[in-house]
Structure 1
């Protein structure tokens, strides 16, 4: 029987992966002053036993003001690093799954309430709120406090913070870094003409709008060990007329690949409340396919990939090299096990769980 493509191994920037299923970064809004808590140990430990190939730590702020909310994880000082070290030590005691981290800065979408309390922007000076920053003084939504437009010193401060967080990630033994340039956060704000109205070298043309995200990539790539991958998550389109497009995403991906990017993770949207997203199963796969056809580095597809045959078809047809699971794996943390059973593949499981192997699938588990 031919091995399902979804469960074939691959290597990304020197990092060996057992299969093509990766766990996307998912914010938990459960940190205290940027420090991971016991919730992160439970959450990440659970997912580290899922049988996926790679676990990605949620969007991790490189500066306190870069957090989406006051409850976001950070990696900007010794305290946040120590808290993450405690979590990782416990997870690694029971799982050898490679662990990546997504580093980001929320820009004008920072200073918000946690989602289950409405997620609205919190004004500077109030409880848990602060002044946001962005490429231009344009608010995300009507009624929001406009961000302060970043000057060159502010941009250098943020670029250097990305590099400093990458150094801390390396010290923690994290296997890969993903730079967050999607979902309307700071680097995406620089990329899109809807949020970037600058008239200097960082606004206007595509080359100018890409300049700061490229500078951040170069800084992170230079700070993180050369034998470990640095990847980027992008929004393939803003889903708004006049916004960031898939053609520009392809050009950005080509520039990243030329500078040593190891993989690109293609999502979409998040920049503008006017977005019109055609949500449905695999709705972002065509965006991944467009990038896949233009760049040699591995491409990750994401977005309502929930069916096992659907995921297998995405890999087998060449639409993407890997699929990422987010909400789907929160709902079903053993999705890779079930996919392996359905497709006739093998999947890694901890020895404590081997007796759960179904009688109908006697060769499902490997240790």
Structure 2
């Protein structure tokens, strides 16, 4: 794949927000300030909480389509470490917390990899035409969902094994996330090829889909809570700046109790949220004009806490000198292209392993307040 693809993947989390930005967060006064921020400020996004609760992976993007890099940080804000070279992005954790899949390469080439949590032992997943981005590892560890375009169609959500062998297409749409049961995916998609996106739940086995959100729409980047009962997502048209809230929303899986997360009244930009393993916290990127730092809050919007304080030169205020993992990245593997996925009768998904159920309880999270219930109306 070419460098343009890498840039498209790298900026996907931010681009999804900006797609409907005029509906909710056009800077005032400040179109000039906004454009300047886009051209000069580093942005963060793609935050994903490790299933065992120990680390959070995220990506920092250089301005003006510059290089991206994957970092890890603990939930208490310590241990900030760059664990990949430049031009790596789009990390998704394996359910056993030992490794992650990501996209990497150089300014002109892209590859798909699996990397250990310490940044070592790079394994190629081969070449996949039309690849747009990783979406998530299945709860039993047997499959990785990804988004792709093939020919004139798509985007499609498809499945590959942990070694890169493509399995099948599942549905149209993008920004897919696995239900803890491993049987369903929640995706964002439009209705009748319209410009507005909503959330849908798709049965991986039958490929039947059910619409979850309605109304003004512009709903994107959904993720299930660890118990599978709630979905957090960005809803750029459902919050009016100047009122207490945020573009982050929560909705029950059945479509009830949709509400914005009441964080504050600031007209800030956000990136996709990710649940903590115990379901009590969310992590996301946030910033005045563009998302420049990582934050954590409780699932009711209280307890907002900043995890990073980045300077434009890549250092982090108050967190000491930025660590860079000395990973010995292996030479790229010239893997044979895998055959394009073909629609076929889906196999019955494997049941989540017992080991994963134990891990879903999550490790103790340092410096975080006691659990509180999700907001209900």
TM-score (norm 2): 0.29
Relative to its length, the structure with more helix (as a share) is 1
Give the number of the structure with larger relative contact order, counting CA–CA contacts within 8 Å between residues 6 or more apart.
2
